[in-house]
Amino acid sequence: MQRLQVRRRARAVRDLLRRRSAVPESTFVFNIVWTGGTFRYLRYFVCSLLANSDARFRFVLNGCTPESAAMMRRFAEHHAGRVVDVLEASPKMEAHGVALDFVYGAVDDGEFFCFVDPDILATGPFVADFAERLQGSCDAVSSGRGVWAETDVVPVGHRGVNGEYFFSQSGYVFGGPHFAMYRRAALQATRERWGVRFASPGRDLSEAAMEQVASAGHDYLLYDTGKLVNILLQERGGTLCHFEHPALMHIGGMSHYLSPPSYVVHEPGGEPEPDWSRWHGMATRYEVARFTAAVLRSLTDAETPPAIPDGVEGDLVARLERVRSELIALVGRYGSAQWCPPDEG
């Protein structure tokens, strides 16, 4: 009994010291890259991040419509102190990594560099668990597996580290481009040592850098946003941690269905929508993204959201039901003027 009391007191002291030494959540500034006219629909996701943290946010415009940019500025004024900036990275839509590289060079938020996709919502507090890892052994931490994802491991024989793949077959951590928090010093040292950027596809790097990547066993034809940064961060001795937080939900892929056609990046050939169902492993993503966008459009326009479409079977039914119910709750919770100012000034 006495030993148990001693252990409890020791644990209480450790917990107290950890809380006292914890980095305040307001220290972290999350950069959110916006495209086209998606803000009108995805602003509720940001409201959930605001409500469930004390973190701050920066809106990064990447080929946004004038209307969307104006809405973001009104939103920032409405949440003054929490949305710290509305910064244009490019008047036309560039790759996600290009926008991240721009904001990394344009501003310095101190000890950390963080970003989160606009289609990630929070159902509860989340920042402290990531911050704790950054105070421990992790130089960077990532998260954000999509609800549509069948796996987050690079398939055997696959020639690319796509955005949705976070691990190799051996368990090596590639991390994710959807939610990430870096110690800026470790990130900067990696960038300087290898000349790597978030947008680096590989062929832009030095021969020495790519030899290092290949010697580590990660020789691919394709590297999505930040994958080479994460590999080379670890190759210079840093630690990347990845875990899925129960209070975060990443849907993904909705921008194609929420932006006006002139702002959408089309497939070669000019199709109005990318038919992901034809691509390897993408059929589920296609269905979830298209359906979720339809639900979100309806809710934003105060219309009845569509039901699960006919013909959907198996596990996909449960996924669509989950996103539908979460979005109904999300817009119901954050659709008021308290959270979202009027669409027009």
Domain count, the chain: 1
**Is residue 254 included in any domain, yes or no?**
yes
- Phi, psi angles (nearest 5°) of residue 20: -70, -30
Measured CA distances, 72 to 32, 138, 290 (Å): 11, 33, 24
Q: Please indicate, yes or no, if residue 76 is contained in any of the structural domains.
A: yes
Which of 10-19, 91-100, 160-169, 231-240 is the least confident region? 10-19
Q: Is residue 295 part of a domain?
A: yes
At 18 the pLDDT is 43
Could you tell me if residue 231 is inside a domain?
no
Q: Note the pLDDT tens digit of each residue in 62-76.
A: 999 999 999 999 999
In a domain, 285, yes or no: yes
Contacts (Cβ under 8 Å, ≥6 apart) of 291: 306, 308, 309, 320, 323, 324
CA distance 29 to 27: 7
3-class state of residue 134 by DSSP? helix
Residue 182 counted as domain residue: no
The mean pLDDT value of the chain amounts to: 87
- Whole domain around residue 287: which residue ranges? 25-126+247-345
Residue 176 lies in a domain: no
Return the pLDDT at 17.
37
Specify if 87 maps to a domain: yes
